[in-house]
Structure 1
Amino acid sequence: MGRLEHACLSFRSWLAVTAAAFLLGVRPSACSDLTGSRPNILLLMADDLGIADIGCYGNATIRTPNIDRLAARGIRLTQHIAAASVCTPSRAAFLTGRYPIRSGMVSSNGYRVLQWTAASGGFPTNETTFAKILQDKGYATGLIGKWHLGLNCESSDDHCHHPLHHGFDHFYGMPFSLMGDCAQWDMSEKRAGLERKLNLCFHIVAFAALTLTAGKLTRLLSISWTPVIGSTMVAILLLTTSYFVSPLIVHADCFLMRNHSITEQPMHFQRTTSRFLKEVSSFVRRNKQRPFLLFVSFLHVHTPLVTTEKFLGASLHGLYGDNVEEMDWMVGRVLDSLDTEGLTNRTLVYFTSDHGGSLESQLGNKQYGGWNGIYRGGKGMGGWEGGIRVPGIVRWPGVLPAGRVIQEPTSLMDVFPTVVQLAGGQVPQDRVMDGHSLLPLLQEADEHSAHDFLFHYCGKYLHAARWHDKHSGRLWKVHYMTPQFHPEGAGACYGRGVCPCSGDGVTQHSPPLLFDLSKDPSEARPLSPGTEPLYQAVIATVGEAVRNHRKTLSPVPQQFSLSNILWKPWLQPCCGTFPFCSCSQDGDHSET
Structure 2
Amino acid sequence: MILFPLMFYLWSTSNAENESISKPNIVLIMVDDLGIGDLGCYGNTTLRTPNVDSLAKKGATLTQHIAAAPLCTPSRAAFLTGRYPVRSGMASLNRLGVFLFSASSGGLPTEEITFAKLMQQQGYSTALIGKWHLGINCNSSDDFCHHPLNHGFDYFYGIPVNNIRDCRPGHGSVFASGIKMYIPTTLQITGTALISLAVLHYIGLLRVSHRVLGYSFLMTALLLGLLMYFFYNFRYLNCFLMRNHDIVQQPWSYENLMQRFTEEAKRFIKRNSDAPFLLLLSYPQVHTALYVSQDFKGKSKHGLYGDAVEEMDWSVGQILHALDQWHLSERTLVYFTSDQGAHLEEISSNGEVHGGYNGIYKGGKSTNWEGGIRVPGLVRWPGVVEPNISIDEPTSNMDIFPTIVKLAGAPLPMDRIIDGHDLMPLLQGIALQSKHEFLFHYCNAYLNAVRWHPGNSKSIWKAFFFTPNFSPKGSNGCYDSHVCFCHGNFITHHDPPLLFDLSKDPEEKNSLTPETESHFYEILQVIQQAVNNHTKSLTVVPNQFSLGNILWKPWLQPCCSSFIQFCYCNNDS
291, 309, 317: which one aligns with 2:302: 317
After superposition, what is the alpha-carbon deviation per residue over 1:400-440, rounded to whole angstroms, capped at 9, x for unaligned?
10000000000000000000111011111111110000000
Deviation at 1:269, TM superposition (A): 1.0
TM-score, normalization by structure 1:
0.89
Distance 1:560 1:231, change over 3 A: closer
Secondary structure of the structure 2 residue equivalent to 1:157: coil
Aligned partners of 2:462, 2:273: CA distance in 1, in Å?
Answer: 44
Aligned partners of 1:284, 1:488: CA distance in 2, in Å?
Answer: 49
Aligned partners of 1:239, 1:562: CA distance in 2, in Å?
Answer: 18
Aligned partners of 2:15, 2:220: CA distance in 1, in Å?
Answer: 75
User: AA paired with 2:322?
Assistant: S
- Is residue 311 of structure 2 the alignment partner of residue 326 of structure 1? yes
User: AA paired with 1:405?
Assistant: S
Matches within 5 A, 1:561-576: 561-576=546-561
Show the counterpart of 1:583.
Answer: 569
After superposition, what is the alpha-carbon deviation per residue over 1:77-109, rounded to whole angstroms, capped at 9, x for unaligned?
000000100000000000000000000101212
- Is residue 163 of structure 2 the alignment partner of residue 178 of structure 1? yes
Deviation at 1:575, TM superposition (A): 0.7
Deviation at 1:194, TM superposition (A): 3.3
Deviation at 1:199, TM superposition (A): 3.5
Secondary structure of the structure 2 residue equivalent to 1:345: helix
User: AA paired with 1:373?
Assistant: G
Secondary structure of the structure 2 residue equivalent to 1:138: coil
TM-score, normalization by structure 2:
0.91
433, 436, 442: which one aligns with 1:451: 436
Secondary structure of the structure 2 residue equivalent to 1:386: helix
Aligned partners of 1:495, 1:461: CA distance in 2, in Å?
Answer: 22
Deviation at 1:13, TM superposition (A): 8.0
510, 513, 517: which one aligns with 2:495: 510
Deviation at 1:561, TM superposition (A): 0.7
Aligned partners of 2:496, 2:122: CA distance in 1, in Å?
Answer: 49
Matches within 5 A, 1:520-535: 520-535=505-520
- The answer to whether the Cα contact below 8 Å between 1:377 and 1:487 also exists between their aligned partners in 2 is no
Show the counterpart of 1:291.
Answer: 276
Matches within 5 A, 1:163-202: 163-202=148-187
Secondary structure of the structure 2 residue equivalent to 1:469: coil
Distance 1:268 1:490, change over 3 A: farther
Task: State, as a whole percentage, how many aligned pairs show the same letter.
Answer: 52
Worse overlay, 109-118 or 154-163: 109-118
Aligned partners of 2:540, 2:291: CA distance in 1, in Å?
Answer: 40
Distance 1:190 1:344, change over 3 A: same
Deviation at 1:253, TM superposition (A): 1.1
352, 355, 359: which one aligns with 1:369: 355
Deviation at 1:557, TM superposition (A): 0.7
Show the counterpart of 1:22.
Answer: none
After superposition, what is the alpha-carbon deviation per residue over 1:201-243, rounded to whole angstroms, capped at 9, x for unaligned?
445667789999999xxxxxx9999999988878986886677
384, 407, 410: which one aligns with 1:422: 407
User: AA paired with 1:88?
Assistant: T
378, 399, 416: which one aligns with 1:431: 416
Deviation at 1:40, TM superposition (A): 0.3
Deviation at 1:282, TM superposition (A): 1.1
Deviation at 1:325, TM superposition (A): 1.0
Aligned partners of 1:318, 1:42: CA distance in 2, in Å?
Answer: 29
99, 106, 119: which one aligns with 2:91: 106
Show the counterpart of 1:442.
Answer: 427
Show the counterpart of 1:68.
Answer: 53
User: AA paired with 2:128?
Assistant: L
User: AA paired with 1:276?
Assistant: F
Deviation at 1:198, TM superposition (A): 3.0
After superposition, what is the alpha-carbon deviation per residue over 1:320-379, rounded to whole angstroms, capped at 9, x for unaligned?
111111111111112122122221111100000000001111246432111111111110
User: AA paired with 2:272?
Assistant: N
Show the counterpart of 2:203.
Answer: none
Matches within 5 A, 1:111-122: 111-122=96-107
Show the counterpart of 1:553.
Answer: 538
Aligned length: 568
Aligned partners of 1:327, 1:264: CA distance in 2, in Å?
Answer: 22
Deviation at 1:9, TM superposition (A): 2.8
Aligned partners of 1:3, 1:497: CA distance in 2, in Å?
Answer: 50
Aligned partners of 1:409, 1:499: CA distance in 2, in Å?
Answer: 25
Deviation at 1:494, TM superposition (A): 5.5
Aligned partners of 1:524, 1:484: CA distance in 2, in Å?
Answer: 15
- The answer to whether the Cα contact below 8 Å between 2:71 and 2:97 also exists between their aligned partners in 1 is yes
Deviation at 1:541, TM superposition (A): 1.0
Distance 1:207 1:449, change over 3 A: closer
- The answer to whether the Cα contact below 8 Å between 2:33 and 2:341 also exists between their aligned partners in 1 is yes
User: AA paired with 1:9?
Assistant: W
- The answer to whether the Cα contact below 8 Å between 2:163 and 2:289 also exists between their aligned partners in 1 is yes
User: AA paired with 1:54?
Assistant: L
- Is residue 239 of structure 2 the alignment partner of residue 254 of structure 1? yes
Show the counterpart of 2:11.
Answer: 9
Aligned partners of 2:13, 2:192: CA distance in 1, in Å?
Answer: 76
Deviation at 1:68, TM superposition (A): 0.7
- The answer to whether the Cα contact below 8 Å between 1:82 and 1:354 also exists between their aligned partners in 2 is yes
Structure 1: stretches of 5+ with no match in the other structure: 17-33, 216-221, 588-592
Structure 2: stretches of 5+ with no match in the other structure: 201-206
- The answer to whether the Cα contact below 8 Å between 1:185 and 1:304 also exists between their aligned partners in 2 is no
Aligned partners of 2:38, 2:17: CA distance in 1, in Å?
Answer: 36
- The answer to whether the Cα contact below 8 Å between 1:483 and 1:501 also exists between their aligned partners in 2 is yes
Secondary structure of the structure 2 residue equivalent to 1:513: strand
Show the counterpart of 2:140.
Answer: 155
- The answer to whether the Cα contact below 8 Å between 2:12 and 2:21 also exists between their aligned partners in 1 is no
Secondary structure of the structure 2 residue equivalent to 1:357: coil
Distance 1:434 1:35, change over 3 A: farther
Aligned partners of 2:250, 2:378: CA distance in 1, in Å?
Answer: 35
Aligned partners of 2:4, 2:489: CA distance in 1, in Å?
Answer: 64
